[in-house]
Structures are given as structure tokens and as C-alpha cells.
Amino acid sequence: MSIVPNSPALAELHHGAPCWVDLATTDLQATLDFYTGLFGWHYSDVEGRAVAVVGGLPVAELVAAAEPSAWTLYLNTPHARATAEKAHALGGSVLGEPSELVTLLADPTGAVVGFRHVPPDWMFGTNGHGAYAWAELNTRDGYAADAFFHELCGFEITQIGDGQAVDYTLWDIQGSTVLGRQRMGRAFAPDTPPHWMVYFTAAPEIGTDSVATRVLELGGRVTVEPYDTPLGRVTVVADHSGAVFSVIDPSRVTPMTEDDYSSRIDDLDD
């Protein structure tokens, strides 16, 4: 796993850069309470949807819905409908009717991701406790995923594993790493579907372990206990409704051997 923080400026300017995350919930108030208790999020509006704010910048959206969903990542696009058409031509699936501003897609391996056209003054906070930190695609067909998103978004693809025991790629835009792709290994249950994992930041003064403990106190689950990586201390958790996400404290970096690294890559999200 490799985690490189995104920047608001990058999200504003480049096709394919992360620009938003949201979560649909059947109990909006309970979800607001959970994430307020976990990250201290404040909300700019509560009218069927609530925009979470960290340090004065929006970081996520919580939406009331008849059916719950996982955390959904959105990537920037100059035109959502055109992106949907291109994705379909490349073997992806378009979920619902796209508009000029937003579309949801499933890539050829089955993982769902959104594309959103954002204005020049769009703000997406990526600093502070509870802000977006990183996202990665977990799939069993890494080659197909890399090829699809390279054609769709123009990502530069870099393999950082050996491609066999450790198959992990970084996706870059003009030299800046914005996303990762991991091939799911033996640690994943056979019925685990391809999915995107969204990471939020744990502030150094709070730490990943404290966040994991707080998740339990708020009625959630810890699915992967906190562990050290060269890029920070990570845990994988589920909120009170079962929506899974990861938390990283990037200040807690620990050198690891290649064997340790391979093991942790394979264990992630078990």
C-alpha cells in the first residue's frame, strides 16, 4: 500500500484526480452522530444531505437514502456524460442515467466509482483530522483495471510490487501520485467484491489507535487492527451501519522489510 495525499488544487485542475467522497445512509442523524463523535466533523447543511467540514473546508457528504451504500469516491471529469460514454466503450458499466455533472460507473472488474465535474473554485479539504487522505482500488484483475483507467483518465501507471506476490500500482497525473490499485490476494474472502477503499486522516495528536478505539465505542467495528507501514499507521474499520473505510496517521512511519510489506499488502481488508 502506498498513500500520497491529494491536494485541492490538483482536484480542481486535472481529469481523474479525487475530488469528493460521499456515503448514503438510511439513518442520516445516526450517521452524523457517528462521524461527529469519531472525527469531530461539523456540517454545513442538513436537508437530506450534510456536507462535513474540517478546518473550514468540505471533506465529505452524507446523504439520506432508501438504501445504504459504501463510501463512494468521485474523480474529476470535464464532462460526466462523455466520461460515461467512453467508459462504456472501454468495457465499463454505467450505473443509472448520467448527467453533465455526475455519473456512477463500474469498471470492467466490477468496482464502483463516481465522476464529477467540478467548477474552478471547487474546494475539497485534504488536511486535518478526518479529512480525505487517499483511495485505492482493490480488485482481482489488476491488469484490466490499470488498462481501463489509463485509457479513461490518462493515468501514468507504475508497478511498485513485483507484479506477482505483490501487485500494487500507483496512478499518477503529470508526475503527482493520486490513487493506488491493489490486486486482492489470499487474505480476501473469495466472495469479497472489487471495491474502492477510502482513507481518512488521523491527526498525530490523536493517532490511529485512538480512532480505532473510538470506532468501537461508537458502535462500529475494527476489521483490521492498527499496524505500521512506511507511510503511516493504518487501521481498517466499519461504521455503525457497516460502511468500511481506513484511517491513517501519516506521522507514524515505520521502516519495513520487503517480507513485512508483502504480508501487510496481502492482509489489508481481510
CATH number of the domain bearing residue 87: 3.10.180.10
Average pLDDT across the chain, whole number:
89
Residues 140 and 255 in one domain: yes
Q: Exposed e or buried b for every residue in 69-79, given b needs 16+ CB within 10 A?
A: bbbbbbbbbeb
Instruction: Give the predicted TM-score (pTM) of the model.
Output: 0.90
Is 126 inside a domain boundary?
A: no
Residue in the block written with cell 493504518: 234
Residue range 64-79: mean pLDDT, rounded: 94
pLDDT in tens, 177-208: 999 999 998 878 889 999 999 999 999 999 99
Task: Give the model's pLDDT for residue 48.
Answer: 76
Note the pLDDT of residue 259.
53
Residue 168 burial (CB count, 10 A):
22
Question: What is the distance between the alpha carbons of residues 28 and 32, in angstroms, rounded to a whole number?
Answer: 6
- pLDDT over threshold 90, residue 117: yes
Q: What is the pLDDT of residue 9?
A: 44
Q: Is residue 183 part of a domain?
A: yes
Q: Phi/psi of residue 79, each to 5°?
A: -160, 110
Q: How high is the pLDDT of residue 45? A: 78
Q: Which residue has the higher pLDDT, 226 or 12?
A: 226
Give the domain range for residue 75. Answer: 8-116
Question: Last residue of some domain: 84, 116, 148?
Answer: 116
